[in-house]
Structures are given as C-alpha cells and as structure tokens.
Structure 1
Amino acid sequence: MPNIQEMIERLKATVDPAKVGMFACHNGVVRATSRDGKPARALDIDCDRDAWERVLRDVRSRPGIAAVEAHLNTGRREVGDDVLLVVVAGDIRENVFPVLEETVNRLKAEAVKKKEWLANS
C-alpha cells in the first residue's frame, strides 16, 4: 500500500522535469461521521477497474499534465484509514488543481463503490 510521498517520489523519477512545476495531492480517509453527520465506523470499498482506467486515461491527456497516479485501498477500511490517494504532476497550478479535483470527483463517482457502516449498525 503506497503513501503519498512514495507516489510523488515514483513520479519524480519517471516524468520529464521540464514539464513539472508542481505536484498536487489528495489523501482521502474514512471519516468518523457520514455526510449527514451520523457516527460512522467503517467503509467497505470496491472498484470498477475499467471505469478507473478510463478516468485516468482521460485526465492524463489534459493540457499541462505530465502524470496522474491514483491508488484505492479496497476492502474494509476503519475510521482514519487512507482510502483514495491521488497525485497530479503538471506545469502550473491553473492546470494542475482543476485536474486533481476532477480526478477525485470522477473516480469517486464513476469507479469507487462503497458501503458505509454507521456506528449503530
């Protein structure tokens, strides 16, 4: 299971440094509450790998983007556990930040499947 720093180091070793002025990262964790504020204890996470790869292919083709890497920890995840890690390498923040946000949103909407376990369930 990689962490954000390992993902950044791997990208630094492989991307063209002339095309990279920044790395933007997302490290999603299991929250202790649901979106509507109910106490939560865990998530069961799975992934549609075809959708995952389709999203990554698309965002990697954006202007100014040198690389996009993502990792999903599947299975049962407890409060505080890492879930979704995303690193976007690119030229300038005006190109990189929107791609980071789009990547996270699309992976969660199109590829990540989750079941939330509330504290009283």
Structure 2
Amino acid sequence: MKVISIVGYKKTGKTTLVERLVSELSKYGTVGTVKHTREEIFPIMGDTERHLESGAQVVVGVTPTRSAKIMKMNDLKSALKQLSQEGLDFAVVEGFKDSDVPKIAIGDVEASNIVARVDINASAGELAKIAMAQPDHVSLDYLIAKIKKSPKVKEAGAIGTFTGIVREVAGDEVTEALEFESYDEVMRQRIKAIEDDLKKKDGILDVLIHHKTGRIEAGDDIVYIVILSGHRQELFPALSDAIERIKDEVPIWKKEFTVSREFWVHDHHDH
C-alpha cells in the first residue's frame, strides 16, 4: 500500500486535491483515505457512545447505504493499519503535518517529510505520479488481505505465513536494532524471481514476499512471506524453501547495533 498525505494551510484546497488524486488513483487500484478532522464531525451521543462506554474498542454503525467505523484508537498509525487490513493499493491522507508519512505540500506550508510542493492547479496525473513513486507501506495483515484477493483463492485450502523479527537477546548480546541496506531494484528482481519459482511448485497458488530495509528496532518485523496453497502438505516445504532462498539469493546487507558496539553481519539473514 502506497501512502501519501496532502497538507496545507486552511482554505488552500487540500480536499480538492485529495478528490483529484483519489479519482486518478482509482484507475490503478483500490484507494482508502484518512482525514484529520474535528471530533464534532462524529457526534458522541446515543447508542454508539453507550457501546464505547461499555468497553467496545470499535463500533461499526450500518445504515441502508453505508457504514461507519468508530474506534477508540485516534492516531494516524491505527487508521493506516485499518486500511492496510483491507488490502488497499493506496492510502491518501488529508492533514497530519507532523506525521512521518510522505507529503505533498500546498504552497509554503511547513511539514515533515515533504516530497513535493504544488499549487491548487496541480493536475491529477501529476499528483498520482508523486503518490506512485512512494515506497510501499507493507504489513503482514496487508499481504494476507492481498493474497485473499488472488484469482486462485477459490482453489486454496491454506494460507501460511512467516515473519522474521529482530532478535533482541542472543546469548550475552543485547541487540537494540538492525539496519538493512540493499540495491532496491536488484532486491525486487530477486524476490520476484523467488515468488515466480515457488508458484511453479505443485499446489502453490500464489506467493507474496516483502523484506524491509533501513533501521528496524528490536522486536519489530523484518521480512514477511505469505503463501496460498491448495493443501497444507505443500505449504510448509514452500515456506521453508522461500526462507532459505531469501537468505541465499537476495543481496541485503545487515548492520547490528548492540548496547556495546555496532558491526556488519556477514550472515546477513540470521534473524
């Protein structure tokens, strides 16, 4: 899922550009949006509030024409996680100037992580090109949702996953973080080759692999493998094969940061 935010001062046309961008991105995939808005937009009253006060973390109100999800979690990260779980291709955010997501800024507004500045006349094509150039925001939930949309899902009897995480304690060593570097295009090509080869195996219907780069803190996710198969018997050998091939074939270098030192790790996939 590619994420982009539109930010600007009040009355500068943020919603207009969001509408323009969403309409264009919808030609290429599914789109969700997040808006930084005032609380009074969602009235805190009646049965919905009673549900929340009784302990519900999420309330979904269903009407004859649409539904609304109201959550106690009120941060951008939680909202993007909800969109990710839907397996959407794009998320367009309106506002949240201080977040770490990539941003298209209108005029001279100040914000973090601005990747482009435009004015209200920016075309839909220009905005979409910026959005599609952003890195993918990937979670395990996102990949599971995507693989469930596979054309071959009707033939499937199992979905198997593997998640590699940053090990914090190994013997006497305490790791604070790992940092991964790669040649991005080569990494994508090698991962695609592994996915394609695995899909040639009997009973393997679809494969999705994602390996993160950059600094990853202890306990956080590094790599995801999701496999759709006809039966469980084919699933587990394919997962094992995928893990080993990533270790052996994908050019990614790992630096380890411990409490006492930092160093490059030769066996760069020993998670």
TM range (shorter): 0.7 to 0.9
2:213 alignment counterpart: 74
1:54 alignment counterpart: 193
TM-score between the two structures when normalised by the length of structure 2: 0.41
SS in 2 for 1:80: coil
Q: What letter corresponds to residue 66 of structure 1 in structure 2?
A: L
TM-score between the two structures when normalised by the length of structure 1: 0.87
Could you tell me the percent identity over the aligned residues?
A: 26
Label 1:29 to 1:18 Cα distance change in 2 as closer, same or farther (>3 A). Answer: same
State the Cα distance separating 1:42 from its structure 2 match.
Answer: 1.2
Question: Do structure 1's residue 14 and structure 2's residue 150 form an aligned pair?
Answer: yes
Question: Do structure 1's residue 29 and structure 2's residue 165 form an aligned pair?
Answer: yes
Question: Do structure 1's residue 39 and structure 2's residue 194 form an aligned pair?
Answer: no
1:76-112: CA deviations, max 9, x gaps? 1110111101100001111011101110121122213
SS in 2 for 1:6: helix
Alignment partners' CA distance in 2, 1:37 and 1:97: 32
2:203–2:230 Cα contact (<8 Å) kept: yes
1:16–1:66 Cα contact (<8 Å) kept: yes
Larger helix percent: 1
Computing the radius of gyration over CA atoms, which structure comes out larger, 1 or 2? 2
Alignment coverage as a number of residue pairs? 120
1:34-65: CA deviations, max 9, x gaps? 4x552111111134413222222211211100
State the Cα distance separating 1:10 from its structure 2 match.
Answer: 1.0
The alignment's C-alpha RMSD in Å is 1.7
Question: Do structure 1's residue 113 and structure 2's residue 253 form an aligned pair?
Answer: yes
2:153–2:228 Cα contact (<8 Å) kept: no
Q: What letter corresponds to residue 9 of structure 1 in structure 2?
A: A
Q: Structure 1 unaligned runs (5+)?
A: none
**Structure 1 stretches of 4+ moved >3 Å:** none
